[in-house]
Structure 1
Amino acid sequence: MNFFIIILVTALLQLFGPWWVVAIVPFLVFLIRHTSASNAFWTGFALITVLWMAYGFYLHFVSDGAMSDRIAGIFSLPNGVVLLLVSALIGGLTGGLAGLSGQLVRRIFIADAAKSVSL
């Protein structure tokens, strides 16, 4: 279920919002929904990586690589595909760390609520 929520909401918000919306969605999903810390990180990482890779390859093939190859040249990368891989890795780390942060914040509030109830 987390898969569908994150991928659909992030894809829609990416059309209208800034790039960092990929951090908000996994954070909120794992703040609300319970899972383990490692699952939160790897789910956020994988979904955002796949989303950015898919959209990047779509743009790459639509423009015959012209846009991504030119941007890769600015960063002294060999070609546009390497740029897409680096971008997907950065997006994946952002999504993974956001998901982990959401899960850890949830754990803090759940622990505080349990302590206040037991007092």
Structure 2
Amino acid sequence: MIMKWIIVAISALVFQLFLPWWSIAIAGFISGVSFIQKPRKAFLNGFFGIFALWSAVSLYIYVVNEGLLAERLAALFSLPHGLLVVLLTSLLGGICGGLSAITGNYFKALFLK
């Protein structure tokens, strides 16, 4: 299961180097089509793969600029701390990845029946 997360995260990272942010949905969709799994596991694989990737990237940006950007965004959205921005960013990415993975899983099921 963790290996599938890593595959989703690496493929999303490669897509994001050349494509816009929503390319994570492409990576999630491909993982949902590629792996033989139940829809719940497809969602979780897509969610945790993208969640881990976006958490790592957000934390890297947070550390490099000493939390300045995250603190300003937190003030803009009336959040108490900048790390909540990092968490929300990761959650939104994870939800997008999970929904695209389950969509890919259901798309594959259309053609298998």
Q: Tell me the TM-score normalized by structure 1.
A: 0.86
How far did 1:74 drift? 1.5
* Runs (5+) with no aligned partner, structure 2: none
Correspondence for 2:80 = 78
Task: Say which of 52, 67, 76 aligns to 1:65.
Answer: 67
How far did 1:32 drift? 2.6
Q: Which amino acid aligns with 2:63?
A: F
Q: Write the distance in 2 (CA, Å) between the matches of 1:75 and 1:4.
A: 32
The 5 Å alignment of 1:91-110 reads: 91-110=93-112
Task: Say which of 12, 15, 18 aligns to 1:13.
Answer: 15
Correspondence for 2:90 = 88
Contact residue 5 and residue 45 of structure 2 kept, 8 A:
yes
Q: After the TM superposition, which segments of 4 or more aligned residues of structure 1 sit over 6 Å from their partners?
A: none
How far did 1:5 drift? 2.4
How far did 1:79 drift? 1.9
Q: Which deviates the most, 11-20 or 48-57? A: 11-20
How far did 1:65 drift? 0.3
Q: Write the distance in 2 (CA, Å) between the matches of 1:78 and 1:51.
A: 24
Correspondence for 1:45 = 47
Q: Which amino acid aligns with 1:70?
A: R
Other structure's SS at 1:25 match: helix
Instruction: State, as a whole percentage, how many aligned pairs show the same letter.
Output: 34
The 5 Å alignment of 1:17-36 reads: 17-36=19-38
Q: Which amino acid aligns with 2:7?
A: I
Correspondence for 1:115 = none
Q: Tell me the TM-score normalized by structure 2.
A: 0.91
How far did 1:39 drift? 0.7
Q: Write the distance in 1 (CA, Å) between the matches of 2:107 and 2:82.
A: 37
CA RMSD of aligned residues (A): 1.2
* Runs (5+) with no aligned partner, structure 1: 112-119
How far did 1:26 drift? 1.2
Q: Which amino acid aligns with 1:84?
A: V
